């Protein structure tokens, strides 16, 4: 489509030739003369001057580019995501039920559902309208799911779990598996029945091979708008707040409360029975053994305020030099 049309659809301010034909999107270093790219991180600003892209999505105050058109908009990264949607053609899943699927007579499936090969849906399941359930998905008895559910291949939703509207489960996600509960007695570990549920509210995405465990009693709850990355573990009885991001390999021990708008970066570990406050951020590989205040940015193990952690790391990196100086100064004359 013409660059001018893209600018209009995004609501961006166009600087440059709007008649250029655009065929897709690309990274700033790979983009050719028929592709759109973006700059959201200042450290890539220099590459905008050398890119061969047809246009660059930038902030309104970005410097003028002599050889490349710009589309100026307040959130270039979000605009880039929307531009991808303009060009990407996802598979079309027509309504229908594959003959190899096994669906209980007592299950209620909403209008226009696509149910793929070898799907198993148990007794008393209720699924809303416009569901797409791809091959080998298993939905246990008593599950309740809202509209526009999308389950990729090999998803499992365990018994009595509840999922809201617009929930997306990527390949291999497991919702409502037993929490890790055992009590020691008679010289062995005795399993504690995990009698609770897992509840996913609306507009939630759980990505590949992530696990959200069911509670022993009560519920494990993931609130509206939260996003859970690959290989994340949400322990039994935990609560994940609205719009919170749990990035790759995050682990929450049982009964953890994560607030709204929290970001836990990759490989963050959170001990159980504590609270991480609204709007806080834990940088990659942080270990959290205590409560985190709302709005805090923490790093390291045990987690401390990020600026303090940076000072600690700087000191640790200087330790060899400090030790050499100490030994030098302590040598006998």
Give catalytic residue positions.
Answer: 236
Please say whether the beta carbons of 216 and 194 come within 8 A. yes
Q: Give the rounded distance of the alpha carbon of 187 from its chain centre.
A: 41
Tokens describing residue 99 = 């003959």
Tokens describing residue 261 = 């708008």
- Long-range (24+ apart) CB contacts under 8 A made by 218-221 are 220/176, 220/179, 220/196
> How big is the chain, counted in residues?
333
Maximum alpha-carbon separation in the chain: 93
Cβ atoms within 10 Å, residue 48 = 20
Q: What are the φ/ψ torsions at residue 28 (nearest 5 degrees)? A: -65, -30
Task: Report DSSP letters for 303-321, one per residue.
Answer: TEEHHHHHHHHHHHHHHHH
Angle at 324 between CA 318 and CA 328, to 5 degrees: 145
Please say whether the beta carbons of 210 and 173 come within 8 A. yes
Please say whether the beta carbons of 163 and 181 come within 8 A. no
Query: Strand 233-234 relative to strand 304-305: parallel, antiparallel, unpaired?
Result: unpaired
CA distance 208 to 231: 7
Alpha-carbon torsion (58, 60, 61, 66), positive or negative: positive
Contacts of 317 by beta carbon, 8 Å cutoff, 6+ apart: none
Q: Give the rounded distance of the alpha carbon of 330 from its chain centre.
A: 54
């Amino acid at each position: 489509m013409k660059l001018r049309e893209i600018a209009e659809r995004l609501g961006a301010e166009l600087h440059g030739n709007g008649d250029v034909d655009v065929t897709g999107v690309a990274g700033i270093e790979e983009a050719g003369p028929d592709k759109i790219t973006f700059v959201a991180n200042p450290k890539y600003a220099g590459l905008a001057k050398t890119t061969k892209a047809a246009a660059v999505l930038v902030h309104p105050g970005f410097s003028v580019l002599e050889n490349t058109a710009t589309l100026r908009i307040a959130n270039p990264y979000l605009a880039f995501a929307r531009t991808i949607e303009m060009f990407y053609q996802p598979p079309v899943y027509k309504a229908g039920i594959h003959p190899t699927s096994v669906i209980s007579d007592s299950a209620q499936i909403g209008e226009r559902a696509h149910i793929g090969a070898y799907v198993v849906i148990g007794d008393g399941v209720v699924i809303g309208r416009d569901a797409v359930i791809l091959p080998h998905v298993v939905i246990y008895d008593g599950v309740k799911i809202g509209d526009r559910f999308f389950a990729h291949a090999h998803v499992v939703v365990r018994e009595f779990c509840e999922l809201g509207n617009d929930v997306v489960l990527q390949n291999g996600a497991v919702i409502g598996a037993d929490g890790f509960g055992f009590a020691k007695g008679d010289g062995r570990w005795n399993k504690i029945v995990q009698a609770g549920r897992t509840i996913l509210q609306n507009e939630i995405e759980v990505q590949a091979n992530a696990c959200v465990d069911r509670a022993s009693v009560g519920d494990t709850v993931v609130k509206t708008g939260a996003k859970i990355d690959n290989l994340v573990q949400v322990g039994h009885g935990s609560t994940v707040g609205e719009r919170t991001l749990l990035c790759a390999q995050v682990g929450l021990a049982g009964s953890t409360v994560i607030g709204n708008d929290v970001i836990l970066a990759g490989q963050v570990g959170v001990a159980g029975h504590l609270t991480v406050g609204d709007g806080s951020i834990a940088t990659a590989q942080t270990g959290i053994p205590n409560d985190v205040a709302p709005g805090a940015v923490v790093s390291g193990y045990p987690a401390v305020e990020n600026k303090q952690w940076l000072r600690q790391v700087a000191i640790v990196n200087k330790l060899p030099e400090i030790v050499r100086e100490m030994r030098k100064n302590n040598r006998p004359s």
